[in-house]
Amino acid sequence: MNLTDFFRQLSLLMGLPAVLLGAAAVAVIVIMRDWRIVLFAYAVLSIVLALLLSQIIPPEWALLQAIVGGLIAVMLYLSARQLRWNPASGVSWEGRWPQMASLGSFRALAVALAAVTFLALREDLVLPQVDLLFSDAIFWLVLIGLLGLALHEEPLHAGLSLLAVLGGSELLLFSLIQNRTMIGVLEGGQLLLGLAISYLMVSRGLASSRTASGLARPGEDA
């Protein structure tokens, strides 16, 4: 049994569990603040999307989603590690970003309300030529991803929320159209988006570091 056959059989066995795991992963991206947990959740989501895509497109094409997702996770991890501690500012990377841990319960409540909305409307949203399980996954990914864009201003969380929306859009698009060129274009676009998120993380962190250093100097002189 080669890797392609194993991936296909695994995807068939993990239909509903994969959807539930992906739903939990995107919820973690929106609710949690710790960048390590968020990046792990995105890596899980990328694997789940690859498993789901392998049921509607050739598995070797679907593997691109897992590969691209892994590359994006590595890029964001390296950017986050670079900003974790800056000796020039003496402030940890987590400390330079706005302290919004007190809003964790609010984000959890927002996701819970979105889940209630999802359960109330899922039977009315019927996508033609799309399996019901895939329809639920698409609706949930887009809904929670847009919620994450509304709740977060940081590049990491907002960028991963946007990638979740794109993941749901991919499931819808490839359920209707199977085109190898389109898969390459979309996966390449996701990789470029990951580079943009990584750049914004670094630039924002360095700008915050300079601001903190500038505010510290008057106090030192005094």
Q: Where are the domains of the chain?
A: 3-85+104-208
Averaged confidence pLDDT in the chain: 81
Under DSSP, is residue 178 helix (H, G, I), strand (E, B) or coil?
coil
Count Cβ atoms below 10 Å from residue 102 Cβ, excluding itself.
7
Instruction: Indicate the helix (H) or strand (E) that contains 27.
Output: helix 15-31
Q: Are 169 and 182 in contact (CB under 8 A)?
A: no
Residue with tokens 């080669």: 2
Which residue blocks in 84-179 are alpha helix, DSSP H?
A: 93-96, 104-121, 132-151, 155-176
Residue-level pLDDT at 85 = 40
19-43 residue pLDDT tens: 899 999 999 999 998 889 999 999 9
Go through the chain and tell me how many residues it has: 222
Q: What is the pLDDT of residue 99?
A: 46
* 124 contact partners, CB below 8 Å, separation of at least 6: none
d(CA 209, CA 213): 6
DSSP-derived secondary structure for 33-101: --HHHHHHHHHHHHHHHHHHHTTTS-HHHHHHHHHHHHHHHHHHHHHHHHHSEETTTTEEHHHHS---G
Strands 91-92, 85-86: pairing kind: antiparallel
> How far apart are alpha carbons 156 and 178 in whole angstroms?
31
Retrieve residue 79's tokens.
Answer: 């950017």
Positions in the chain whose pLDDT score sits under 70:
1-14, 84-102, 208-222
Query: Do residues 96 and 28 touch, judged by C-beta distance below 8 A?
Result: no
| pLDDT at residue number 12 | 60
> How much is the pLDDT for 222?
42
> Position of tokens 């964790």?
104
pLDDT at res. 208: 65
Would the CA dihedral through 135, 47, 191, 37 be positive or negative? Answer: positive
Q: What pLDDT is attached to residue 202?
A: 85
Q: Tokens 């690859």 belong to which residue?
A: 50
pLDDT at 106: 86
Task: Give the pLDDT confidence of 85-114 residue by residue, as tens digits.
Answer: 443 444 444 444 444 444 778 889 999 999
